[in-house]
Amino acid sequence: MTTLSKPATYYPNYEVNADDIMTVIEICHPNSPHKKRAFDMIQNAEVKKRHLIMPLTDVVKQGDFGERAKVYQDAAIEMAENVAREAIHNARLSVDEIDMVIATSCTGFMMPSLTAHLINRLSLRPDTKQIPIAQLGCVAGASAIGRAFEYCEHRPDRNVLIVCVETSSLCFHKEAGRLQDFISNSLFADGAAAVVMRGDDQISGLRLTHNQSVTIEDTMPYIEYQLTDKGFKFSLDKDVMHSIPHVAPYLQSFCQDKLEIDANDVDNTIFHTGGRRILDELERCLDLAPDKVKHSRACLAETGNTSSVAVIDVLRRTFEHATKGETSLLAAFGPGFTSEMSVGIWQ
Amino acid sequence: MTTLSKPATYYPNYEVNADDIMTVIEICHPNSPHKKRAFDMIQNAEVKKRHLIMPLTDVVKQGDFGERAKVYQDAAIEMAENVAREAIHNARLSVDEIDMVIATSCTGFMMPSLTAHLINRLSLRPDTKQIPIAQLGCVAGASAIGRAFEYCEHRPDRNVLIVCVETSSLCFHKEAGRLQDFISNSLFADGAAAVVMRGDDQISGLRLTHNQSVTIEDTMPYIEYQLTDKGFKFSLDKDVMHSIPHVAPYLQSFCQDKLEIDANDVDNTIFHTGGRRILDELERCLDLAPDKVKHSRACLAETGNTSSVAVIDVLRRTFEHATKGETSLLAAFGPGFTSEMSVGIWQ
């Protein structure tokens, strides 16, 4: 009886809004033919604010990959430690009771991994198992939940710490001038989240019953990284908007098979905050009442798209409202094009 | 009854020897104070040849991270597909019977991950689970075996494809002039390996019974990456030589607990090919007869240190000699400082 206990989230202090990022685009690309369209899209994106690890004045003057990697390492470790301690506390466990740590982060890179740093910083047991995940992008938070579920499913005495950390501001490239670069600049944001999966049922939370991965054939260009001397750079193809109609039938049949109800009868959906259009498409394709995606919309409005972090934040928001016996569908979407989905019942 | 079936390995066509790399160092760093010591160490390293994905003339003139990332992606996908197909064939399975793919690679980066590329290239099922591992360095091959073991242990109807790909030549930096840079230049190499873990006992191979992870406190600087505008750069601290005395007691007690014999009574050891000194230390600390590490030494002599690939290569070599009922200890070592160890019995 694997249980997701109460998550912890953390957002850094520097806040930006749509107007701030439009000003940056205006200054860096005064003659861009994409500007008008981008500004229309940014103003309709339903992102009220985002949090960054540094002031926007520093974001725009960042150096090469080496320089960004140093900033990443310090910020990622600090945010990760912070949310990890709170999540372990929320799970009513001591650090000695953690058997595996999964860390997800696609906006920076370090070796030794964040998982090794967490073992040291938190004084986890030396035999703690590690899964660091860097290349699953926005689906990674839900992937971590899937892998933790498979580990705990037959091991009720084990507990997995999941930590997601993103610093999208370190993937900002001043010279990037395509329409999708402007959209990325206005959407992605920084933050951290952690959650403990307990293998037992000795705590209230979301009791997961099933998990499924889905990778859609021939859709790899939808979401990619470009790698440059300045590090990682998101590359979103406009076809990414076609991704949800591909995935929705899997989400529907997963709910029907495992919960024996249609997706629109699930009490709470916990969707990765990909963007307004992604949430609109989920509503449309699964015939969901608008109320069903409200926590994902609130997460988008208050924090933007924090990649692997977002789904754990939406889980935290759901935690405050779900009641015993309610059903949940948790899902995220990312490069591959891959979706990870889990279902469970609140206890 | 999880079983490691027969692995596949692949090494690219371009071969270099110690003399070639000493010539490069001579030209790039004619006045280095470290040269004499480095050359002595290189000549005593017991690496006869290494394989690279490009001629040495191209290695020395590589550009920035973006340029290297393009070369990486093409080479990694091609090598990975090649060994994956052979490993699935060796396991007497069809591509439809693979439930999870774990890809390890610490010498380049791509998103979507190598796991998503393999799902597409091999036409694996859309519900194939993915674990891409980038940040575990040389321990990643044995980590993948550990995570696959945990997945299959309670799921005898499942199968995991493990693919390890390394292109260390893409981490070469002409201007790097420390002693440890010269050693890295002469030790690390390129290649790929794959192995399928079957959850059942319907094939001969190494039947794994137990796995353990060990991360030693306060040893993170032993092996690190430096990140630069030209990408990843290995950084080996000379203290890495002290790592094996830390890990050996864990290896010893793991054998005593799980196989009920001392490590020096295990029939075959399958050790990551870290370097001559690492293998000497394992022999010394575990009181092993020289014959016991012969496959690791042969792997080192013929291919250098291929990071996550090496342990799968040593498993392949052991496959050709082990007989039914023999015991094996498989272990690798990497950043953290982390060791992953498994034991099993040949069937």
- pLDDT of A196-240, one tens digit each? 999 999 999 999 999 999 999 988 888 888 888 888 888 888 888
Q: How far is B16 from chain A (nearest CA, A)?
A: 27
For testing the chain A interface, which of B74, B114, B154, B227 should be mutated: the one with the most A CBs within 10 Å?
Answer: B227
Residue-level pLDDT at A51: 98
Q: Is B138 a catalytic residue?
A: yes
Q: Which residues of A294-323 are buried (b: 16+ CB within 10 A; e: fewer)?
A: bbbbebbbbbbbbbbbbbbbbbbbbbeebe
Contact of A235 with chain B, judged by CB distance below 8 Å, is answered with no
User: For chain A, what's the residue count?
Assistant: 347
A136 contacts B135? CB cut-off 8 A: no
Closest CA to B5 of B306, B296, B207, B266: B207
| C-alpha to C-alpha distances, B187 to B17, B32, B80, B303, nearest whole angstrom | 10, 19, 22, 9
CATH homologous superfamily of A206-346 equals Thiolase/Chalcone synthase (3.40.47.10)
Closest residue in chain A to residue B226, using alpha carbons only: A66
Between helix A179-187 and helix A35-43 the angle, nearest 10°, is 30
pLDDT more than 70, % of chain A: 100
| Chain A residues 209-228 with CB within 8 Å of chain B | 212-218, 220, 223-228
DSSP A169-214: GGG--TT--SHHHHHHHHHB-EEEEEEEEESSSSS-SEEEEEEEEE
Q: How far is B65 from chain A (nearest CA, A)?
A: 5
User: pLDDT tens digits for chain B (347 residues)?
Assistant: 899 999 999 999 999 999 999 999 999 999 999 999 999 999 999 999 999 999 999 999 999 888 999 999 999 999 999 999 999 999 999 999 999 999 999 999 999 999 999 999 999 999 999 999 999 999 999 999 999 999 999 999 999 999 999 999 999 999 999 999 999 999 999 999 999 999 999 999 999 999 999 999 988 888 888 888 888 888 888 888 889 999 999 999 999 999 999 999 999 999 999 999 999 999 999 999 999 999 999 999 999 999 999 999 999 999 999 999 999 999 999 999 999 999 999 99
Domain A3-198 shares a fold with domain A206-346: yes
Please give the structure tokens belonging to residue A152: 């705990």
Closest CA to B26 of B173, B182, B236, B169: B182
Q: How confident is the model at residue A241 (pLDDT cuts 50, 70, 90)?
A: confident
Instruction: Give the start-to-end residue ranges of the domains of chain A.
Output: 3-198, 206-346
Q: CB of A337 within 8 A of CB of A215?
A: yes
Residue-level pLDDT at A133: 97
B335 contacts A112? CB cut-off 8 A: yes
Closest CA to A162 of A141, A179, A182: A141
Cβ–Cβ pairs < 8 A, chains A and B: 176
Q: Which amino acid is at B193?
A: A
Query: pLDDT digits over A321-336, tens only?
Result: 999 999 999 999 999 9
Query: pLDDT digits over A11-64, tens only?
Result: 999 999 999 999 999 999 999 999 999 999 999 999 999 999 999 999 999 998
Contact of A64 with chain B, judged by CB distance below 8 Å, is answered with yes
Architecture of domain B3-198: 3-Layer(aba) Sandwich (3.40)
CB-nearest to B113 from A120, A135, A154 is A135
Q: How far is B231 from chain A (nearest CA, A)?
A: 7
Residue-level pLDDT at A222: 87
B220 contacts A116? CB cut-off 8 A: yes
The per-type count for chain A, helices as H runs and strands as E runs, is 11, 14
Q: How far is A159 from chain B (nearest CA, A)?
A: 14
Asked whether residue A68 carries a pLDDT value surpassing 90, the answer given is yes
Contact of A175 with chain B, judged by CB distance below 8 Å, is answered with no
Distance CA A36, CA A44 (A): 13
Distance CA B326, CA B346 (A): 5
Q: Which amino acid is at A309?
A: V
B215 contacts A126? CB cut-off 8 A: yes
Contact of B153 with chain A, judged by CB distance below 8 Å, is answered with yes
Phi-psi region of B7 (alpha: psi -120 to 50; beta: other; left: phi over 0): beta
A215 contacts B126? CB cut-off 8 A: yes
Set of chain A residues whose Cβ sits within 8 Å of the Cβ of B212: 127
Query: pLDDT digits over A175-190, tens only?
Result: 999 999 999 999 999 9
Set of chain B residues whose Cβ sits within 8 Å of the Cβ of A227: 65-66, 69, 109-110
Contact of B62 with chain A, judged by CB distance below 8 Å, is answered with no
Please give the structure tokens belonging to residue B281: 């230390």
Please give the structure tokens belonging to residue A239: 């076809």
CB-nearest to A224 from B112, B130, B132 is B112
Set of chain A residues whose Cβ sits within 8 Å of the Cβ of B114: 135
Distance CA A53, CA A127 (A): 32
Tokens 């990843």 belong to: B232
Residues 6+ apart with CB under 8 A from A67: none
Please state, as a whole number, how many other Cβ atoms lie within 10 Å of the Cβ of residue A206. Answer: 30
Residue-level pLDDT at A240: 85
